[in-house]
Amino acid sequence: MAWYLLFPIAASASIYGEDDRAEVYEHQNQALVEVARTSLVAMGRGLPPQCDQQYETNGDSRDLCPGEMFEEQPVIAACSATIVDDDLVLTAAHCVPDQATCDDVWFSGGVYYDDAESLHPVGASDVYKCVGIVVEAEGDAVVVQVDRPFQAPYVPALPAREAVEIGDEVALMGFGGGIPAKIVSGCHVLGGSPARPEFNCDMLPGNSGSPMLTPEGELWGVLHAGAGSYVPDGDCRVPMVYTEEGLLPDLPTAPQLAAAIPLESVLEALCELEWPTSLCATAAVCGDQICSGGETYQVCDDCERPTCGDGSCELAAESHCDDCVGFVCDVDAGEHPVDEGCGCRSGPGRTSGWLVLIALVAARTFVGRSVIWSDRKN
């Protein structure tokens, strides 16, 4: 089956020594597995994939050579991200550079394989919509707010207790190549500075925004840059392969490593904004002029009630409003997407089950998180 890439990904392709990417179900470090299952989210942009579209495989999308790892897996995500609080997500700033991009972005948990043949079942409740940029940290990290608080099984990642140093073992996870989640562990910090640690974790396009973790599964940073690219090998392509030290034969003294923005820099920017979050030892309070945490327009005036014509599609209140035209399909009484020019009909001969996960965003309930924080950012 072919797949379609949601939107182009600008990132690097680097393998250090052996390719260490592993499926979530295969990995032996249960602390990392737990983060992958409960705190890691895939990010996509634009109109959600529709049920009868065709989608590219990893191999077709990247013109990979036959036999490359995971070449037959589906391309789903554009970037990687991490849940860091009730309704906050951390990713690379180049993944969500502005509000216009945020308006088109969704996040989904549960995008991984349960075994060699089965994708984890994902439903509408796993998909969350980006509603606003909370703060951009120096470098290339951004915290965004989603349309509602994350619900079980999703929980914020645990912040690391100490900064990483050269020589420390680290790990990353995410959607390299856009395919379902992979974990990379056993890599090390080899250089850089406290403000931009550099390391030798295998990474591919789609890993932008990946959580950088300790072996214990604690979050210490966000991936923002890498070395290398896909390189020709005859009439196909392969990821660039470095030594474990990040070297190439023709550049034996110039290590090429990936880099991250430390969580400490992100928290400094977030707390300076006085955003109500447990990360800054504060809490959401109705009347603080910020729609956050568990607040909704139904219970707190900090959250604006959506109105038709405001340019924002809030499905709970305006699924039949012009604000939502071209973004979602209506849902009939049988709770199946119906075909109204956007190709979401399900049934015999149409894609069903897991592939419908993003199409089902049409059926889920937004809670009117029209965020009021622009004055705080200026």
Residue 190 has pLDDT above 80, yes or no: yes
Are residues 306 and 297 in contact, defined by beta-carbon separation less than 8 angstroms? yes
pLDDT digits (tens, 9 = 90+) for 317-326: 444 565 554 4
Q: Which pLDDT score is estimated for 346?
A: 27
For residue 335, pLDDT over 90 is answered with: no
**Does the structure show a pLDDT above 60 at 164?**
yes
What is the pLDDT, as a whole number, of residue 322? 58
Question: What integer pLDDT is reported at residue 313 of this predicted model?
Answer: 53
- Tell me the pLDDT tens digit for each residue of 262-271: 999 999 999 9
- The predicted pLDDT at position 193 comes to 94
Can you tell me the mean pLDDT for 107-113?
93
User: Per-residue pLDDT tens for 203-261?
Assistant: 999 999 999 999 999 999 999 888 888 999 999 999 999 999 999 988 888 899 999 99
Q: What percent of the chain has pLDDT over 70?
A: 75
Per-residue confidence (pLDDT) for residue 244, from 0 to 100: 95
Between 321 and 90, the higher pLDDT residue: 90
87, part of any domain: yes
Quickly state the pLDDT bin for 3 (edges 50, 70, 90). very low
- 254-293 burial: b if 16+ Cβ within 10 Å, else e: ebbbbbbbbbbbbbebbeebebbbebbeeebeeebebbbb
Work out the average pLDDT over 171-192.
96
Q: Tell me if 128 is assigned to some domain.
A: yes
- pLDDT of residue 366 exceeding 90, the answer is no
- Please report whether residue 52 resides in a domain: yes
Q: Which two tokens stand for residue 298?
A: 């139904």
Tell me how many domains the chain contains.
1
Whole-structure pTM value: 0.81
The two structure tokens encoding residue 177: 């190549």
Q: Is residue 118 part of a domain?
A: yes
What distances in angstroms separate CA 133 from CA 70, 74, 87, 253, 290, one per listed residue? Answer: 33, 29, 12, 40, 13
Rounded distance between C-alpha atoms, residue 213 and residue 83, angstroms: 13
pLDDT tens readout for residues 140-158: 999 999 988 899 999 999 9
pLDDT, tens digit (0-9, with 9 covering 90-100), for 290-316: 888 777 777 888 887 767 765 555 544
Residue 23 lies in a domain: no
Task: Classify residue 119: in a domain, yes or no.
Answer: yes
Please check whether residue 253 lies inside any domain of the structure. Answer: no
- Name the band, by pLDDT with cuts 50, 70 and 90, for residue 358: very low
> Is residue 61 a part of any domain in this protein?
yes
Which letter does DSSP use for residue 209 in this model?
T
Residue 378 has pLDDT above 50, yes or no: no
- Cα–Cα distance, 306 to 370 (Å, whole number): 7
| Structural domain boundaries enclosing 60 | 38-146
Domain of residue 121, CATH code? 2.40.10
**116: exposed, middle or buried (C-beta count within 10 Å: 0-12, 13-18, 19+)?**
exposed
